[in-house]
Amino acid sequence: LAVAGTGEIEDASGVEKGALVLEISGDGSASEVIDAVSQAIGHRLRPIFKDVCGLPDGGALSDFLRQHNIEISPSFGSNAGLVFSGTPGHSVRRILAEAELAGIVRDIAERPRAGNGDAAAVLAEARRHVRSLGRFDWAFQPAESLLESPPGKWWRAITTTLLAPPMLVAVAVVVLVSWKLTYKLVFGDPSGLSFATIAIAGTALLLAVLGLIAMIAVALGVCFIALRRLEDIDRPHNTPVDLQALDKIIVHEDRAAQNHMTAISTMKAGLLRRLALRLSFYLISITARKVYRPGFLGTINTIHFARWVLLPGTNRLMFFSNYGGSWESYLEDFIAKAASGLTGVWSNTEGYPRTRWLFLDGARDGDRFKRWARRQQVPTLFWYSAYRELNTAAIRINSRIRRGIASASDNEARDWLSLFGSLPRLATERTAVQKTTSLLANISSAFPPPLEQQLETGEIQSIFFGPFGALAHAHMLAIAIPETLSRASRKAWLEFVVARASFGDGVPRERALTLAFGPDGLRRLGLGGGVDGDPLGTFPVAFRHGMGNPERSRILDDLGDSVPDNWQWGSLQKPVHAVVVCYAESPEMLKTELASLKKKTSGAGMVLVSELPLAVKREGKRAVEHFGFVDGVSQPIVRGTARANAGAAPMHLVAPGEFLFGYRDEHGFYPASPSVPAAQDRSGILSAVRRNRQIAGQPPPPHDFGRNGSFLVMRQFEQHVERFEDYCKAAAAQAAGETGNPAITPRWVAAKMLGRWPDGSSLVRNPDGRPGRGVDNDFTLGVEDPQGHRCPLGAHIRRSNPRDSLGEDRETQTQIGKRHRIIRVGRPYQKQDRKGAKVEKGLLFMCLNADIERQYEFMQQTWVSSTSFQGLVGEKDPTIGSRSGDGRFTIPSWEGVTVLKGIPQFVTTRGGGYFFMPGKSALRYLISRL
């Protein structure tokens, strides 16, 4: 239930008229669904429709709803609209019943068993148990499931569309009329039956058909050329997202396996835009119904229901969607997998990012598209789902579990058992070596990288190029900047730290310094508002919200002891405006650097909120973290850096625009960069914002404050090392005893949870943990270990970087994954409490990314903290996930499942924040503003 403004202004009150929109997705015909809803909640709806929509006293609610029902048809000439179902053929009753069945069978499948397992015996035991319950007789009856049907063919979709009776009749009538006119007007309507008249009739038919084709082609050409001219003069909206309006929306988002989105857009003026909208709906409808797999939109399989509706009598286009996962993951699916379809529809509405030829660009410019999408959203007043804790992946798995109970043979029992904690085996498989070779060889050719760009290395802080491993000693200072400080004090401090900051690709010889600022820190250091616009409004929402914001904290899964109210720094109560990290090759040099920095900071009147001593912990030549694993193994390699030029596997190469502003991203666009009005930079310290396309008549661009800068995510994690080690020992002893498998050791349990052995070798390439194999990182998860039999689906490295494993289109998945990479530059810390009685061990996690929501928060929310990642049930990341001591972790194998239970929380958040790490010119600009 949502309210939509219609754009019309009421004369008497001067208030915009509204429409109350009730969206229903249900089983059966529209009339049956309306009757069911009226009967179930009519007593709730009647007062609402009576008060605001004119429902007469005593009138039947069901008749009122039928009268206002908008019928949407996929045909081209129908009311503009589109409806999509992600679970076609599955009723509410069936979905709930199969979920209950799957839950009962899961207990059987996950029961500990000695030996290597026997999938056929597990299936037989499950069947006996289900039969004994007496209420699941239906599970043994064959039942059709459209969810497992293969995709259609393009040629078949075109053929069936053209041969559909309405289309066939319409085409036949037009051809016959054209033929008759050609026969009569061109050839003089010859009479009689002879070879000549038959030849003339055939020629007239041929000319009529060719003429119609030519006329259609010319008409389409003229329309698309006219549309292209409109696209060139369109002006996308770049207004910042209103934080107060957004807070009302996100407070209800991402709270279960399903979420709901309501968006209202305003149509652009003109008949051509209306025709383009109908054409887009028509094409999408055909492909969704006849080309894609049932329930899939392209390769997107997370949508439960979606519909576009052009409200009758208005220029308002409404979009409703009931989807699985987070808002960020949902939009990213569209950007990566269905951008042309979205663009074909929404490019006809005001403010949409620039498009070409109706279907190109637009949503591919992901950053601007998501900002636009947020501006279209309105709060959903009420929404309900009969199975809100199930996503579409779980519904498909439950359907296959039911089918296996009914009909799986002993030979198919392994595949049935793989539905618990693993993934179904593909019907056709090449060998892992063949597919790995093909993948590594074809990624570059199948997806050409963005044009190489020369990095302005001297403008970029050096931490971007590597975590300064050679400078083993470091210290972090978290600083608050009082508003009352004089400009002179702030300027003197800023000049001092900027003079010591490190820039360029390479590790400084003796010392280094990195600095970054929160939104209030930037404001207090000169990036203030003005009559011509507030530069902070050009920064993304996550940065302006801050990590301590309750909704951002929920996204990051900071629960229990990790809630911001318990943090040592970075919460709303203990704000931090700037962070400085000093590095040095010796303790003596670090001590000297810290002394001068602290003296300058306190002398300027700034407050030291917190500090952390950092040190590289080594075992041999490799750096390790406190849990004992080699650290820093898997990192993206940025094109244009020395590492990239030295040669690297294509799967690790990522465009610089994914991490730095002012450069193109993986889709070839310049991300929307934080900027300042040109009037606030009259001396020209900053360069103009780079544009994706130069179009005549555009106003001068603003100046690029973000160029060569990046967002720095910083989080202080306490690692409960003894708790981790004790759990690995206890879990190993229990699992080894239950299965009789002596290979299950504490090292084995720890490696399965992380996804690597402590020495850095991968489970994928070194499944038995043989020593001396060395660090490896060029493996593929989807090709070499698709079912997680070596590296479990829920392991930490698989969640934090799934590589090619989130779909059968491996190359595409690798490219999509590049939009969610981060550059990790943190290091361990170890400190004593104030009494000196306890030593706290942990990690100062630091990472760089250009889009906090799409990269760090997406990874944390959609992968690490998701309890349904890759079809798993009730599991989070076993090593860093938040939980209350009842965590579980599934380890699948060829003929069985091992489940670790009672996993406690091994990591607690003690502080953190979102900061912007400026380039050299941006720092000079701040100094000039002071």
Which backbone phi and psi does 172 adopt, to 5 degrees? -65, -40
Question: Which tens digit of pLDDT belongs to each residue from 54-68?
Answer: 899 888 999 999 999
Report which listed range, 108-112, 427-431, 797-801, is most confident.
797-801
- Residues whose CB falls within 8 Å of the CB of residue 155, separated by 6 or more in sequence, listed in order: none
Is there a single domain that holds both residue 526 and residue 648? yes
Higher-confidence residue of 608 and 10: namely: 608
| pLDDT average, residue stretch 2-28 | 90
Q: List the beta bridge partners of residue 912.
A: 715
- For residue 888, pLDDT beyond 50: yes
| pLDDT average, residue stretch 358-369 | 91
Q: Is there a domain that residue 247 lies in?
A: no
Contact 130, 101 (CB under 8 A): yes
Q: Is there a domain that residue 358 lies in?
A: no
Contact 739, 753 (CB under 8 A): no
- For residue 611, pLDDT beyond 90: yes
pLDDT at 807: 84
- The residue out of 10, 45, 69 marking a domain boundary is 69
> How sure is the predictor about 166, in pLDDT bands with cuts at 50, 70 and 90?
confident
pLDDT at 116: 75
Cα–Cα dist 279/273, whole Å: 10
Question: What percentage of the chain carries pLDDT values higher than 70?
Answer: 95
Which helix or strand (DSSP H or E) is residue 729 part of? helix 721-739
> How sure is the predictor about 142, in pLDDT bands with cuts at 50, 70 and 90?
confident
Question: Which tens digit of pLDDT belongs to each residue from 527-560?
Answer: 987 767 789 999 999 999 999 999 999 999 999 9
| pLDDT average, residue stretch 354-369 | 91
> How sure is the predictor about 196, in pLDDT bands with cuts at 50, 70 and 90?
confident
Closest CA to 519 of 602, 462, 459, 575: 575
Side by side, the strands of the sheet bearing 81-85 are 81-85, 303-310, 316-324, 258-266
DSSP assignment string, 182-205: HHHHTT----S-SHHHHHHHHHHH
Contact 554, 865 (CB under 8 A): no
- Provide the CB-side half-sphere exposure for 648 (13 A, CA): 19
- For residue 351, pLDDT beyond 80: yes
Is there a single domain that holds both residue 400 and residue 434? no
Contact 166, 75 (CB under 8 A): yes
Is there a single domain that holds both residue 456 and residue 489? yes
Is there a single domain that holds both residue 672 and residue 758? yes
- The residue out of 46, 69, 92 marking a domain boundary is 69
Is there a single domain that holds both residue 799 and residue 872? yes
Neighbours of 728 (CB within 10 A): 21
- Among 29-43, 150-164, 523-537, the minimum mean pLDDT is found in 150-164
Cα–Cα dist 408/394, whole Å: 19
- Among 430-444, 576-590, 721-735, the minimum mean pLDDT is found in 430-444
Is there a single domain that holds both residue 136 and residue 14? no
- Residue 297 is given by DSSP the state B
Q: Is there a domain that residue 894 lies in?
A: yes
3 state DSSP class of 608: strand
- For residue 440, pLDDT beyond 70: no
Cα–Cα dist 479/83, whole Å: 52
pLDDT at 720: 96
Cα–Cα dist 247/379, whole Å: 10
Contact 666, 902 (CB under 8 A): no
Q: For the chain, how many structural domains are there in total?
A: 3
Cα–Cα dist 917/710, whole Å: 5
Which backbone phi and psi does 17 adopt, to 5 degrees? -75, 150
- Residue 514 is given by DSSP the state E
- Residue 294 is given by DSSP the state T
Is there a single domain that holds both residue 890 and residue 917? yes
Q: Is there a domain that residue 200 lies in?
A: no
Amino acid making up residue 589: M
Question: What percentage of the chain carries pLDDT values higher than 90?
Answer: 65
The verdict on pTM exceeding 0.95 is no
pLDDT at 646: 84
3-state secondary structure 654-670: ECHHHCCECCCCCCCCC
Is there a single domain that holds both residue 639 and residue 696? yes
Q: Is there a domain that residue 156 lies in?
A: no
Cα–Cα dist 397/420, whole Å: 9
Burial pattern 562-594, b for ≥16 Cβ within 10 A else e, equals bbbeebbbbbeebbbbbbbbbbbbeeebbeebb
- Among 112-121, 434-443, 654-663, 775-784, the minimum mean pLDDT is found in 434-443
CA 154 vs CA 185, 287, 292, 643: distances in Å:
39, 8, 9, 43
> How sure is the predictor about 844, in pLDDT bands with cuts at 50, 70 and 90?
very high
- Residue 569 is given by DSSP the state B
> How sure is the predictor about 434, in pLDDT bands with cuts at 50, 70 and 90?
very low
Q: Report the residue count for the chain.
A: 930
The pLDDT mean for the chain works out to 90
Is there a single domain that holds both residue 409 and residue 551? no
Q: Is there a domain that residue 55 lies in?
A: yes
Amino acid making up residue 385: S
Question: Which tens digit of pLDDT belongs to each residue from 198-233?
Answer: 888 889 889 989 999 999 999 889 988 998 898 888
pLDDT at 429: 41
pLDDT at 552: 93
3-state secondary structure 127-164: HHHHHHHCCCHHHHCCCCCHHHCCCCCHHHHHHHHHCC
> How sure is the predictor about 79, in pLDDT bands with cuts at 50, 70 and 90?
low
Q: Is there a domain that residue 263 lies in?
A: no
Percentage helix, strand, coil for the chain under 3-state DSSP, each rounded to 5: 40, 15, 40
pLDDT at 911: 97
**Range of 115's domain?**
102-140+392-420
For residue 377 the two structure tokens come to 């959203």
Burial pattern 786-814, b for ≥16 Cβ within 10 A else e, equals bbbbbbbbbbbbbbbbbbbbbeeebbbbb
- For residue 432, pLDDT beyond 80: no
Q: Is there a domain that residue 150 lies in?
A: no
Q: Can you say whether residue 917 is alpha, beta or left, with left for phi > 0 and alpha for psi between -120 and 50 degrees?
A: beta
- For residue 837, pLDDT beyond 90: no
Is there a single domain that holds both residue 415 and residue 552? no
Q: Can you say whether residue 740 is alpha, beta or left, with left for phi > 0 and alpha for psi between -120 and 50 degrees?
A: left
Cα–Cα dist 493/487, whole Å: 10
| pLDDT average, residue stretch 165-173 | 81
Is there a single domain that holds both residue 723 and residue 673? yes
Is there a single domain that holds both residue 837 and residue 703? yes
- For residue 447, pLDDT beyond 60: no
Cα–Cα dist 297/305, whole Å: 11
Long-range contacts of 465-469 (CB under 8 A, 24+ apart): 465/504, 465/505, 465/506, 465/641, 465/642, 465/643, 466/507, 466/825, 467/632, 467/824, 467/825, 467/826, 467/827, 468/507, 468/508, 468/512, 468/583, 469/507, 469/616, 469/623, 469/632
Angle at alpha carbon of residue 542, lines to 360 and 454, rounded to 5°:
55
Cα–Cα dist 353/369, whole Å: 6
- For residue 354, pLDDT beyond 50: yes
Cα–Cα dist 790/779, whole Å: 12
Question: Which tens digit of pLDDT belongs to each residue from 489-511?
Answer: 999 999 999 999 999 998 888 99
- Provide the CB-side half-sphere exposure for 414 (13 A, CA): 10
pLDDT at 355: 92
pLDDT at 840: 93
Closest CA to 20 of 3, 6, 41: 3
For residue 553 the two structure tokens come to 């904290």
pLDDT at 162: 66
